Structure 1
Amino acid sequence: MSKPPVRVLFVCMGNICRSPAAEIVFRDLVEKAGWKERIKIDSAGTIGYHSGHAPDRRMAATLKARGYSILGSARQVTPQDLEIFDHILAADRENLADLRRMDRHGTHHSKIRLLTDHCQSIDADHVPDPYYGGQDGFERVADLVEDACQGLLEEIEKEL
């Protein structure tokens, strides 16, 4: 009997910059590692304002310049996501708090963590929201996400 796939959810506020960036980068790493059938990946936002929208054009351009394929559309995180996903990774402490409030009984707190907990080379305690800044912010997000996703993949490979 085969094990069910490991399910990973990336979460930020609007699901148009940070969490889709993490989904895109992680999906690329997973595919290159040959784990596409064993690791399922999604992203969501704590608010639904951008639901149905593609990733932010500036974030998409930043990732595309690094060789990533851009896909996906924004959606809002649901209480069912807390049940379904094995790893729920928040971009910052506000997102983390929102997710933990959603988990009223604390049943899923152990699988709700900060994405930056997985950083290997960059010392960071959150992925900053680049939305209102310049290109440097999008580059910083891409750097953090690439570092954290590599560390996350190494952790999850131990579960497979």
Structure 2
Amino acid sequence: MPNIRKRKTDRGVPLPLLQRASNEVQEGKSVRAVAKSHDICHVTLYRFHKKRLRLESQGSKSPQRVGYWTPKKVFSTEQEILLRDYLMEAADLYYGLSSKEQTGFSHSPAYVSDYHPTFLSSSPPGCRSVASLQLLPIELRPMKPMMKLPMPVQPY
């Protein structure tokens, strides 16, 4: 589960607005004047324009997205939904799962698929993974088992 970053400002600028402002800078207007007319931070516009020029000189298109994004996301949204449903079903079958068992379940698909190496290197899941489970909604939080199921005895 990725770190959840709560936005503290409302200064995000949409990509089309930055592209229009960058076009005006390319026509010869000053960065500060264009930024003031579009109500954008001049540093944001300058960095975007510089990045756009660098990408265009390399033969690529302008940047497809701006601002912050989550590089630490391990599972896609669909995979998170499938994992949630699986954990809920397993919790119903086995009278609840401990937090350690839940993190183990969520960690195991990473070995099958090709996930980020830092996610795979933290085996078994540590305290940080368990702490991130506490941010889950109440219906998805780990429950304490109501009773212990007897383990089958295996002959030697």
TM-score normalised by length of structure 1:
0.23
- With a CA cutoff of 8 Å and minimum separation of 6, indicate the structure with the bigger relative contact order: 1
Asked which structure has the greater CA Rg, the reply is 2
Higher strand share: 1
Higher helix share: 2
TM-score normalised by length of structure 2:
0.23
